[in-house]
Structure 1
Amino acid sequence: MKQKHQLLVLFLKTLYISAFTFGGGFVIVTFMKKCFVDELHWIDEQEMLDFTALAQSCPGAIAVNGAILVGWKVYGFAGMVVAVIGTILPPMAILAVLSVCYAAFASNVWVAAALEGMRVGVAAVILDVSCGLGVNVMKEKKLYSIAIMVIAFLADFVLDVNVIYIIAAGILAGTIRFIWMRKREQTTGAV
C-alpha cells in the first residue's frame, strides 16, 4: 500500500508541477527541488544539483529528464514511468488545445500581453534558482567548483560561448578532477 501511495504522490506532484509551471525546464526543476527536496525530503539538495546537471546535459526536454532521474531515485523504473507521465500530460493537453485554436490565439492582444508578463516572471524564477545554486557552490568553499562556476559564467555572459561548449567543458573538468582525485587517493592509500 505504501508503494502505491508513494507512486500516486509522485504522479500528482509531477502533474501539478508540470501543469502550473510556465517557462521551461529550469523553472520546473526549481519546483521539483522545492517539492522533492524541501517538502517531501525524498532526495537531498546535492542529488538535485546533480540531477539538474544531468538533465541539462542529456538530449531532450530538461523537465522530462529531471522527472526521469527523480522518479528513478524515488521508486526505480515504476517511479520513472509515473514521473514522466505526470510531467508530459499537461503540456500534451495544452498543445492539443492550442493547436486547434492557434489562429485565434496567435493574433490576440490579451494573450500576447499575458505571455509577456509570464516571460518576466519566468526570468525572475530562473534568476532565483541560479543565485540559489551559486550560493550553494560558494558555501562549499571548494576553489575548484567556484572557479568552474565563475569561468562558465564569464564564458556565457562575457564571451558569448555556446552553452553546449560550456557544458562539455564542465563535464571534462569534472571528469579530470574525479580521475585526479581517484589517483591521489590510490597513491596516498598505497603509501
Structure 2
Amino acid sequence: MEMEKTQIKKKDLLLKLFLSTLYISSFTFGGGFVIVTFMKRKFVDELHWIDEEEMLDLVALAQSSPGAIAVNAAILVGWRVCGFAGMLTAVLGTILPPMIILSVISFFYAAFASNVYVALVLKGMQAGVAAVILDVVCGLGSNVLKEKSAVGIVIMAAAFAATFFFDVNVIYIILTAGIIGAGKAFRIYRKGKMA
C-alpha cells in the first residue's frame, strides 16, 4: 500500500514537472536566458522544489555545457526533482513546443518571411525579450553581490568587461571562471584538511 502511494506521488510529480516545462517552453520567446527566468519563477518561487542558490548553480552548469541552455537546464532541473525519469520528462516538456511550432512554421516559411505584420510582431518581441534577459542578469547578479564574496564580484565584473568591452569569446570567460572557482574550492578544501 505504501509503495502504491509513493508511485502515485511520483506520477503526480512527473506530470506536474511535464506540464510545468511544457507551459514554460510554450510561452518563452527569446532563447535560453528567458526560459531560465521562467524556470526560476516556477521551480524556486512557486513550487519551492529548488532553492535560489541551487538554481544559480544549475544555470551555471547549463550555460557551460554544450547544447541549448533551455534543454540543459531542463535536464538538470528534471534530474534534481525526480531523477532519471524527471530528466526525461522535463526534456520532453521543453522540446515539444518549439519542435511543433517550428514544424508548422517551416511549412509556411515563405509566407512568414515576407509578411510585414509578422516582422513587426517579432520586433516587438525583441524588446520584451531584452527586458526579460535584463531581469535575469539583475536577479543573478544581485545573488552574487549578496554573497559578499570578493572573488565572485571580481569574476562577475571581469567577465562583463571581457565580453562587453573586449569581445572575448564566452567560452574562454566560462572556462576561466570555472578554473578560478575550482581553485578557490580546492583552497577551501585544503584549509579544511589542515585544520
TM bucket (normalised to shorter chain) is: over 0.9
The separation in 2 between residues aligned to 1:185 and 1:159, in whole angstroms, is: 38
TM-score where L is the length of structure 1: 0.97
The separation in 2 between residues aligned to 1:50 and 1:185, in whole angstroms, is: 22
The separation in 1 between residues aligned to 2:146 and 2:79, in whole angstroms, is: 28
Q: Deviations over 1:159-180 (max 9, x none)?
A: 2111111111111111111111
Q: Which residue of 1 aligns with 2:49?
A: 42
TM-score where L is the length of structure 2: 0.95
The separation in 1 between residues aligned to 2:86 and 2:107, in whole angstroms, is: 32
Q: Which residue of 2 aligns with 1:28?
A: 35
The separation in 2 between residues aligned to 1:141 and 1:180, in whole angstroms, is: 18
Q: Which residue of 2 aligns with 1:179?
A: 186
| Partner of residue 60 from structure 1, selected from 61, 67, 75 | 67
| Partner of residue 135 from structure 1, selected from 138, 142, 150 | 142
Q: Which residue of 1 aligns with 2:15?
A: 8
Q: CA deviation at 1:51?
A: 0.5
Q: Which residue of 1 aligns with 2:5?
A: none
The separation in 2 between residues aligned to 1:158 and 1:120, in whole angstroms, is: 22
The separation in 1 between residues aligned to 2:169 and 2:117, in whole angstroms, is: 34
Residue type matched to 1:160 in 2? D
Residue range with higher mean Cα deviation, 152-161 or 121-130: 152-161
Structure 2 residue 167 is matched with structure 1 residue 126: no
Q: Deviations over 1:131-159 (max 9, x none)?
A: 11111111111111111111111111112
Residue range with higher mean Cα deviation, 13-22 or 156-165: 156-165
The separation in 2 between residues aligned to 1:155 and 1:181, in whole angstroms, is: 27
Q: CA deviation at 1:83?
A: 0.3
Q: Which residue of 2 aligns with 1:90?
A: 97
- Tell me how many residue pairs correspond in the alignment: 188
Residue type matched to 1:32 in 2? M
Q: CA deviation at 1:7?
A: 0.5
RMSD: 0.7
Q: Which residue of 2 aligns with 1:113?
A: 120
The separation in 2 between residues aligned to 1:15 and 1:32, in whole angstroms, is: 11
Q: Which residue of 1 aligns with 2:4?
A: none
Residue range with higher mean Cα deviation, 172-181 or 61-70: 172-181
Q: CA deviation at 1:119?
A: 0.7
The separation in 2 between residues aligned to 1:133 and 1:87, in whole angstroms, is: 22
Report the secondary structure of 2:191's partner residue.
helix
Q: CA deviation at 1:120?
A: 0.7
Q: Which residue of 2 aligns with 1:75?
A: 82
Q: Give the unaligned 5+ runs of structure 1.
A: none
